[in-house]
Amino acid sequence: MSKQEEFEHMEKYVLSTGIRVGTQVKTKFMTPFITKATNEGLYIIDSKKTLSRIQTAARFINRATTISKVFICSGREYASTPIEKFCELIGATPMLGRFMPGTLTNPLLPYYIEPELVLVADPQVDEQAILEATNAGIPVIAISNTDNVTSKVDLVIPANNRGRKSLAAIYWLLAREILLQKGDIKVNDPMKYEIDDFETKITEEELEEESERIPPLRTRNQRQ
């Protein structure tokens, strides 16, 4: 499989998991990553740019001197399982739940750490982690939706960072790209886990509620 074929293959994953479906708000920071809007006013992210940024993020992460000092942070519930699987595959360190103030900036605290790189799932939810990393001079990669402010982010991965399937896909694709670049796997090698294994599981009732919140995807050019 050629590099182009591999890129197109990965793009199919992107389109099937909702990674490109944004919110009804766009910021000036995320405008360059948006291609169009649906009839419902949802902004759509350019999936090719998402995949390109995944490749760039993988290079950033692979440059870390000590992979365990790459910290993967998120206060989002749906990001927990993807992050745990991601860290298991590449050896990074998960930091889930509430980010304690002073974690990156106060050496006197018992939970103080000194990462080489921080990856967050949402610049809004994980604002404290980004602020402290910036103050400590630590590079930040952020999965960012159309409504996110990314002024303190060093590398943006434009994607839907709210959905379970999209979060599973983005961390799976990133883990796979990291392993490919390191030479740990080849293009046609299967991953230890599939995207579904990265997905946070919910009850049938929660699944029904989730489906009701997601409108059908139609572009402005389609008829009502």
The pLDDT, as a whole number, for residue 219 is 42
221: pLDDT strictly greater than 50 = no
Please tell me the predicted confidence (pLDDT) of residue 103.
Answer: 96
Q: What does the pLDDT look like over 73-97, one tens digit per residue?
A: 999 889 999 999 999 999 999 999 9
Q: Is 33 helix (H, G, I), strand (E, B) or coil?
A: helix
Domains of the chain: 3-213 (3.40.50.10490)
pLDDT given at position 208: 56
205 has pLDDT over 90: no
pLDDT > 70 fraction of the chain, expressed in percent and rounded: 84
* Whether pLDDT at 43 is above 70: yes
Assigned token pair, 210: 């989730």
Rounded Cα gap, residues 107 and 188, in angstroms? 45
Q: What is the pLDDT of residues 16-28, one digit of tens each?
A: 888 999 999 999 9
> Per-residue pLDDT tens for 149-199?
999 999 999 999 999 999 999 999 999 999 999 999 998 898 999 999 999
pLDDT value for 204: 56
Q: How far apart, in whole angstroms, are the C-alpha atoms of residue 107 and residue 114?
A: 9
Distance from C-alpha of 119 to C-alpha of 62, rounded to nearest angstrom: 13
pLDDT band at 3 (very low <50, low <70, confident <90, very high): low
Region 191-219: mean pLDDT is 68
pTM for this prediction: 0.86
Phi, psi for residue 26 in degrees, rounded to 5 = -130, 140
- Average pLDDT over the chain reads 88
DSSP structure class, residue 128? H
pLDDT 10s digits, 92-131: 999 999 999 999 999 999 999 999 999 999 999 999 999 9
Sheet containing 140-144, strands listed edge to edge, beginning at the edge strand earlier in sequence: 93-96, 70-74, 117-120, 140-144, 155-158
Please, are residues 209 and 89 in contact by the beta-carbon 8 Å criterion?
A: no
Q: What does the alpha-carbon distance between residue 84 and residue 92 come to, in Å, rounded to a whole number?
A: 9
Say how far apart CA 120 and CA 132 lie, in whole Å.
12
Checking if the pLDDT of 222 tops 70, the result is no
